[in-house]
């Protein structure tokens, strides 16, 4: 005959599950903070357009041939493409980026927005290793 789990066993499993979930969420939160970059680099057709600080809220119009084709907004430590005059709007529908090596790409205008780490922090990391 099989013994059914009692109240104590069920409570123990629920508590264990909650502890494991809390540790996992804490780890993810900690890793998201350590992986975040502090700069965003914009390139247009492979040429660097500019490098901007993610800690400074700003709106960046991206001009190609004298016309604004895309608008990038940096707010609350995240970069978000809010406007583009391309037909597919994939870059506008891409989630805001904040972690190192995340990108937003506008293929029709050959615009790439990438979160990077400042060179000063990279040198410190190499020395620390």
User: What averages of pLDDT result for each successive group of 10 residues across the chain (129 residues)?
Assistant: 81 94 83 69 95 95 93 95 94 93 94 86 45
Q: Which two tokens stand for residue 70?
A: 């895309």
Q: pLDDT value at position 32?
A: 58
Q: pLDDT value at position 28?
A: 75
CATH assignment, 39-128: 2.60.320.10
Map out the domains of the chain as residue ranges: 1-34, 39-128
């Amino acid at each position: 005959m099989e013994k059914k789990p009692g109240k104590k066993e069920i409570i123990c499993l629920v508590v264990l599950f909650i502890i494991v979930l809390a540790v996992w969420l804490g780890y993810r939160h900690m890793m998201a903070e350590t992986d975040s970059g502090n700069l965003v680099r914009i390139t247009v057709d492979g040429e660097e357009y500019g490098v901007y600080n993610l800690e400074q809220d700003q709106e960046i119009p991206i001009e190609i041939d004298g016309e604004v084709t895309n608008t990038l907004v940096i707010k609350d430590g995240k970069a978000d493409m809010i406007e583009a005059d391309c037909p597919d709007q994939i870059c506008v529908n891409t989630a805001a980026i904040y972690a190192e090596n995340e990108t937003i790409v506008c293929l029709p205008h050959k615009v790439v927005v990438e979160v990077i780490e400042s060179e000063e922090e990279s040198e410190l990391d190499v020395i620390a290793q």
